[in-house]
Amino acid sequence: MPRRPVDTGPRTNENITAPKIRVIDGDGEMRGVMSPKEALEIAEEYGLDLVEVSPNADPPVCKIIDYGKYKYEQQKKANEARKKQKTVDVKEVKIRPGIEEHDYQVKLRNARRFLEEENKVKVTLRFRGREMAHQDLALQVMHRFRDDLSDLSKVDQEAKMEGRQAVMMLSPDKTAAVKKASEAEQQAGEEASDQA
């Protein structure tokens, strides 16, 4: 025997089980407290459905509306909320202990862009061969990277060794970004007043 799909939406029409309900009609006017049977008769007069919109109220609140349209509106609201939700990604920047200055600046610029897009940044410094003997120099590179990004990030996890690599986690710091923006505005205002 096939299973019937479980309806997760609000109770409608004959499925409303409360002995008394508060009813709002199709025009949005309060009809008062009545039995579900009486409310269903009113709904049929309008050619609409009786939908339980607030089941936890005492007594439950039911509205006389077009259920298909109501479900569509709810789905639309849920989709809008999902669109506005920001997912935080973890972007990885890989560096080496003996990184050249130009390469360092490219990696720094990428990390800065990731942080401005409000993503977390995982900085990985991988050791090869005898570089493991110079972990102190490698950690200096990591600390320099952290300090260069301190204006718009905060450290979630300090640089620590994991096997043959050092890992550090940075996340966007909104307060630092706001402070930087206000300083830039203030400096622009000072320059404008100097030119006047």
The model's pLDDT over 21-66, given as tens digits with 9 standing for 90+, comes to 888 877 778 888 888 888 888 888 878 888 888 888 888 888 888 8
Fold of 13-67: Ubiquitin-like (UB roll) (3.10.20)
Sorted by where each begins, the domain ranges of the chain are 13-67, 90-174
Do the beta carbons of residue 147 and residue 167 sit within 8 Å?
Answer: no
Pairing mode of beta strands 120-126, 165-172: antiparallel
pTM: 0.49
Mean pLDDT, residues 8-26 taken together: 79
Q: Is the pLDDT of residue 5 over 70?
A: no
Fold of 90-174: Translation Initiation Factor IF3 (3.30.110)
